[in-house]
Structure 1
C-alpha cells in the first residue's frame, strides 16, 4: 500500500502536541497523549524544542517505532514546528522518512552528543585504570548510540553518514526546505 503525502489539513488537530525541553516531564505528557490516541488510525505528533535529554528522545522514539511495527495499519506522523534541535531531531529520526513533516521556516539542528565530566584519578593504580576505562567505555557507548540516531535520521536521504558526522561536530543547522531537498523529511507545510 502506497502512503499518500499529507496536506496541511491533516495536521489541524495533532493527537500529541509537545513543546519545550525534552525531559522526563515531556515524556510523561507524550505517553499520556500517545495512550489517549490509541484508537486513532493516524497519530500526528507535533513538536517544537530547543533540545534536551537524548535518552528521553530515544524513549519516545522507541514508543513510536514499537507501535509502528506492532500496528502497521496505523500511521505515526511527525510535524516539527519552529525549532527541532538536538534531542528533537533524534526523536524525529524514529519516524519513517515518509512520515516526517516540517512547518515552513522550521530549523533542524543536528549535533554530536555532549559530555561534561570531571575525571578524578585518586587511589591505587589498578582502580585508577578501572576509572579511566569506565569513562572510556561510557564515551564509546555514547558515540555508538549517537551514530545509530544519525543512521536512523539519514535513511532515504542523500545525506551520507560521513557528511553528518563531519557537520554534526559543529552544530549543523538546516532550514525546512533544505531538509526536504536533502530527503530528511517528506514535505514542508
Structure 2
C-alpha cells in the first residue's frame, strides 16, 4: 500500500478527537490579545479566513474583558464554521487572563476543546449596566420608559445566564454556584478549572 501525498493525507486522529499534547499548540492559527471589541473581531475574522479548511485550528486568547456581544459574535462564528465543516476542529487556548467577555467566548467551545496555559485565571462576572433613568412627561410615557429599561435588564440577564449555562455545561460547576459567585467576580485558576471539569487540560 502506498502512502498518499501529504496534501491528501487524512488528519491525524488526535487532531480531530481526543486530548491534545502541548506540541499541538506550538503555532496557533488564530492569535488574539487585548480588549474584546470590534477591532479584535476584525483581526479574528481575518485570521479565521486564513485558517486551514481541515484539521486542527487553535484559537489563542488573552484578554481582561470587553464587549460580551462581540465575544458572542466570535463564538457564533466558531460554532457556524464547526457545523459547516466537521473535518475542522477548533480548540481554545486561554493564556494568562481570560476575563469576562473572554469567558463568554470560551463558552462556545466544548469542554474537550478548552485548554489553558499554566497560571491562567478565568474570571466570571455578571454583566454590568451604567444608565441613568430620567422620568419626565405624561405618566403613561413614564411607565413605558421604565418598562423599556426593565425589559432591557431582563433580557440582558437571560442572555448572560445562557452564556453561564454554556460555560459550565458538562463540568462539576452548577448554575447555582455561578449565580452565587459571579456578582463578586469569580476568579478560577487554571488547575482549579481543570479539577472542576471546566477545561480539558492545562499545558
Instruction: Note whether the superposition's TM-score is higher than 0.5.
Output: yes
Where does residue 179 of structure 1 map in the other structure? 193
Q: Deviations over 1:33-57 (max 9, x none)?
A: 0111042421110000000000000
Deviation at 1:4, TM superposition (A): 1.6
Q: Deviations over 1:120-163 (max 9, x none)?
A: 10111111001000000000000000000000000110000111
What's the TM-score, normalizing by structure 2? 0.91
Where does residue 102 of structure 1 map in the other structure? 116
Where does residue 5 of structure 1 map in the other structure? 19
The size of the alignment, in residue pairs, is 189
Where does residue 116 of structure 1 map in the other structure? 130
Matches within 5 A, 1:30-41: 30-41=44-55
Find the structure with the greater CA-based Rg.
2
Give RMSD over aligned pairs.
1.1
Instruction: Provide the rounded CA distance (Å) in 2 between the counterparts of 1:40 and 1:57.
Output: 24
Specify every segment of 5 or more residues in structure 2 that has no aligned partner in the other structure, as ranges: 1-12
Where does residue 67 of structure 2 map in the other structure? 53
Where does residue 87 of structure 1 map in the other structure? 101
Task: Provide the secondary structure at the position in 1 that maps to 2:93.
Answer: strand
Where does residue 158 of structure 2 map in the other structure? 144
Deviation at 1:11, TM superposition (A): 0.7
Instruction: Provide the rounded CA distance (Å) in 2 between the counterparts of 1:157 and 1:30.
Output: 27
Runs of 4+ residues deviating >4 angstroms: none
